[in-house]
Structure 1
Amino acid sequence: MTKLPHKAWVVVADGEKALILENLTDGENPNLDVIRKDEQDNPKDIDQSANRPGRMHDGGPGHRSAFDDTDWHELAKERFASDLADMLYEKAHAGMFAALVIVAAPKILGELRDALHQEVSSKVIGEIDKTLTNHSVRDIEKIVKAELAG
């Protein structure tokens, strides 16, 4: 059973949005305060793609295959996770938090986990694989408290 320490940070992310919250109280009754909100403009892939996928000759006469097209939307989400990890490293290096809980969609949680520097990873006291970016701060408090207690 882990409790959310005083001054611990909670990062809530989904690949396009991130909330950085700080616990102003204790683990019994967390009171999270938004200290930073990041959001990127990431249109659907269809809106970012310029052309049809390229094609190549496939060995036989008249045979052609399409190349896989780049999914710009997913690429931007991965880049967002990498940028978030870099920002967390800067803040950890500056001593701005001693404990961290990461709440993110499963895919983004994996991307973040891979991108985190050891200095940040050592401060992670909990991971919650849920998408909570569209929840109220009060709902996030309740969910984080319940998940860490369970």
Structure 2
Amino acid sequence: MLLPHGTVIAVIDARNFRLFRNIGDEANPELSEADTPRLDTHNHSGGSHHGSTVTMAHDAHATAAVEWLAQEVQGHRIEHLVVIAAPRSLGELRKAYTKGLESALLGELAKDLGEAKAPEILAQLRGR
């Protein structure tokens, strides 16, 4: 996957929301971890009726992350985006995608890389 300069890579799992930015170019990408935004997960039901409180909290986290990303895209602070999440989480994330976010989306990777370092994330993206 080609990552233009400035592409934001969002790595989302049940507990984490990490952001990386390509500070290199398409030919030689280099990921730099950015500050993690604080998410408001209090007003989100997760979009579905799961029996588990833990599952609903994970879904609310995913929804809050997508809403934050969508605001950044709408505010022109994110031009190109890649989303990485575990398969189940990615399904929840997709439910909350906006048209604007979809237009910025270069790709997705259904893999749990919530604890991965930048070199491992880059290797996984190159392996696609």
Task: Please report the TM-score for the alignment, with normalisation by the length of structure 1.
Answer: 0.73
Q: After TM superposition, list the pairs within 5 Å mapping 1:76-91 onto structure 2.
A: 76-91=57-72
SS in structure 2 of the partner of residue 26 of structure 1: coil
Counterpart in the other structure of 2:105: 124
Unaligned runs of 5+ in 2: 40-49
- The residue that corresponds to 2:47 in the other structure is none
Is contact 1:104-1:130 (8 Å) kept? yes
Distance 1:35 1:28, change over 3 A: same
CA displacement, residues 36-57 of structure 1 (integer Å, 9 cap, x when unaligned): 33688xxxxxxxxxxxxxxxxx
What SS does structure 2 have at the residue aligned with 1:77? helix
Q: Measure the CA separation in 2 of the matches of 1:139 and 1:38.
A: 22
Instruction: Kindly indicate whether residue 112 of structure 2 is the aligned counterpart of residue 113 of structure 1.
Output: no
Count of matched residue positions in the alignment of Structure 1 and Structure 2: 118
The higher radius of gyration belongs to 1
Give the Cα–Cα distance (whole angstroms) in 2 for the partners of residues 39 and 133 of structure 1.
16
2:42 maps to which residue? none
Alpha-carbon contact 1:9-1:100 (below 8 Å) kept:
yes
2:54 aligns with 73
Q: For residues 93-125 of structure 1, what are the alpha-carbon distances to aligned partners after superposition, in whole Å with 9 as ceiling and x for unaligned?
A: 110111111110001111111101111111111
Structure 1 residues 115 and 34: CA distance shift in structure 2, 3 A: same
Structure 1, gaps ≥5 residues long: 41-68
SS state at 1:86 partner: helix
Per the TM alignment, residue 90 of structure 1 is displaced from its structure 2 partner at its CA by 1.1
Q: CA deviation at 1:83?
A: 0.3
For each residue in 1:60-97, what CA deviation from the matched residue of structure 2 results, as whole angstroms up to 9, or x when unmatched? Answer: xxxxxxxxx93111000000011001101111111011
Separation of aligned partners in 2, 1:117 and 1:4: 21
Which stretches of structure 1, 4 residues or longer, exceed 6 Å deviation after superposition? none
Q: Which residue of 2 aligns with 1:14?
A: 13
- Tell me if 1:97 matches 2:78: yes
Q: Evaluate the alpha carbon distance shift between residue 18 and residue 143 of structure 1 in structure 2; reply closer, same or farther with a 3 A threshold.
A: same
